[in-house]
Amino acid sequence: MKGYTSSALLLGPVLLSQLALAQQAPSGVVQWNIQKRPVPNVAPNRLLRRAGSTYQEILQNEQARGGYFATCEMGTPGQKVTLQLDTGSSDVWVPDSTASVCSQGACDLGSFDPTTSKTYTVVGRGEFDISYVDGSSSKGDYFTDVFKIGGATVTNLTMGLGAKTDIAYGLVGVGYANNEAIVGNAQSLNAQYPNLPVTMVDDGLINTIAYSLWLNDLDSNEGHILFGGIDTKKYKGDLTRIKIYPSSNGYYFSFIVALTSLQAISPSGNDTLTSEEFPIPVVLDSGTTLSYLPQDLVEQVWQEVGADYSSRLQLALIPCSKKTSKGYLSFQFAGPDGPRINVRMDELVLDLTSGNPPKYTSGPNKGQDVCEFGIQNSTSAPYLLGDTFLRSAYVVYDLVNNEIALAETDFNSTQSNIVAFASMSAPIPSATQAPNQAAVTNRPAVTSPAFSASSGFSGNGGEDENASPGMPSAFGVAQMSVMGVSMVFAMIGSGIFALF
């Protein structure tokens, strides 16, 4: 995401899906299906981070690249490119086919050749400029052209063209227009332009600036984003609306909501985990692979589930056998009457490599396969709930009313009932507002949990595996081709977040 970037590098073969246009779904919704196929390796040295008037795009769960990708078309005639969906940024951009990273063969997800498009127009020469704190960047022109996604055609979308970039694939940013790269560079909200969700409304394709996200489970090949509507068959229980919080200057830049409770629950007991940071401002960001929470809270989570932090790899690691644990983490938002999302361990225990997993070489876990844990530590707000959380939630983003709606996802649902937003500024369909959100500012007492749930997270019938795993020098990066993760933050303009 632009502004808050989580990145991961994985060496080895990856899987990608090829999208095929399916028959048009009822009520004006167009759905694309996917077929899995192997693709070349990820380019090295790049730290990767995410009914009616309704449009749906099928998303590929690209585990190795660390995000969800959709195949789109841009230009006339159309050029297919596969772009990462990112709710944490706001620009659509694509690598220029002449960029050096593409000339080296790294742009296996596609690039754009403006010289072959009859409808390409430069509208901001040299004004597109995204820079990440990890040193990667993409720079070039803003241009307008035809853009097709999920069966919808936008005839004049403003996009960025990365002519000078070390990032080998583009993004579909669908966040607030306030968060566009040009706004940060110009230090002025007046610099913003109508981005993809806004332009879809302007073109009459959807009724309001809103969409819903269903990522499905970790092992699934696909999920979808539904522009302008929700699918009532993709979640369980009630859909509950909660507030999005603005930055300290009153403007909305990111999808920040209030995390007010976290529990560890297993067959051996329940624990309420505490933190000095509650209520915690968290960004719901599909462009971030992992989730990042305050240090004091994460240390309790790690102790509950049996994860340990490797200072050498700068990651929390966990035995892969924990995938089958019956324990889960329960996240609650917007106070005691707000929505609650339960996240199972099979969504939080992630493979470190694309090949044979490394093994612990000493300690109580000796001989077991090593995995990465999906919740890592961070030292400053706003914190991030990325794909390791979002897969377990059905999320509706309403950028007009500044609300998020949450419900527990219905994994692998094969049914569909799509309901469009009725009009601009209409409330989220089928959703009720969480009561007593004013109580969000109440700070719970900080206590040490009893860790009664800890033994229930064990993968071996309840024995404690919480001791240090032991990783001598033989447990090295060269041996593992390990996924390295870096977490970086940048502020846009004066959008510093001090919410509660």
How far, in Å, are 200, 397, 404, 432 from residue 284 at the CA level? 22, 10, 9, 20
Burial 118-128 (b: 16+ CB within 10 A, else e): eebeeebeebb
Read off φ and ψ for residue 194, nearest 5 degrees. Answer: -70, 110
285 is catalytic: yes
How far is residue 153's CA from residue 142's CA, in Å, rounded to a whole number?
19
How far is residue 276's CA from residue 278's CA, in Å, rounded to a whole number?
6
Which residue among the candidates 285, 308, 351, 398 is catalytic per the annotation? Answer: 285
Q: Which residue has the tokens 């806004």?
A: 198
Neighbours of 405 (CB within 10 A): 28
Q: How many residues does the chain have?
A: 500
The SS3 call for residue 410 is coil
How far is residue 320's CA from residue 29's CA, in Å, rounded to a whole number?
40
Tokens of 7: 């990145």
How far is residue 271's CA from residue 384's CA, in Å, rounded to a whole number?
22
219 is catalytic: no
Closest CA to 178 of 428, 49, 2: 2
Tokens of 330: 């329960």
Tokens of 216: 């499905």
Beta-sheet pairing, 235-243 with 403-409: antiparallel
Q: Which residues are catalytic?
A: 86, 285
